[in-house]
């Protein structure tokens, strides 16, 4: 693990002035382990990419072999459950995320 931590520190120094999305994407490619939970930043980045173009997302994941959550995983994140009367803050948050991705 010392080699991994050394690689992580070296990569962190290279990515120091890059935006958070670039840092997250590169770290996903280098360090994300299969069957481990996705971080909040990884989820946000993946959802943004998927919203921009599902076809491009599929191409990146399947053809280019980028480390990205499966489309089924993304669809699970997007499911709205437990609908009830009144204001649903989860639903409003998901709509807000969708609108923010559309404006970018």
pLDDT at 79: 84
Retrieve residue 84's tokens.
């009830």
pLDDT at 75 over 80: yes
CA neighbor of 70 nearest in space, from 52, 78, 59, 58:
58
pLDDT at 7: 66
pTM of the complete model: 0.64
Positive or negative torsion for Cα 76, 77, 81, 83: negative
Q: Domain extents for the chain?
A: 2-103
pLDDT at 8: 62
Positive or negative torsion for Cα 15, 74, 103, 66: positive
Give the model confidence (pLDDT) of 14-67 as tens digits. Answer: 777 788 888 889 889 988 898 899 999 999 999 999 999 999 999 999 999 999
pLDDT at 23: 86
CA–CA dist 70, 54 (Å, integer): 11
pLDDT at 103 over 70: no
Retrieve residue 31's tokens.
């360090």
Q: Which residue has the higher pLDDT, 87 or 28?
A: 28
- Cα(first)–Cα(last) distance of the chain, in Å? 38
CA–CA dist 18, 52 (Å, integer): 21
């Amino acid at each position: 693990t010392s080699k991994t931590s050394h690689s992580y520190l070296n990569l962190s120094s290279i990515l120091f002035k890059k935006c958070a999305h670039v840092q997250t994407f590169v770290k996903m490619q280098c360090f994300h382990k299969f069957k481990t939970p996705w971080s909040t930043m990884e989820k946000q980045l993946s959802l943004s990419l998927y919203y921009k173009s599902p076809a491009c997302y599929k191409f990146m994941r399947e053809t280019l072999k980028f480390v990205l959550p499966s489309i089924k995983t993304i669809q699970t994140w997007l499911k709205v459950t437990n609908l009830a009367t009144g204001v649903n803050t989860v639903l409003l948050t998901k709509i807000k995320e969708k609108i923010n991705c559309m404006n970018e």
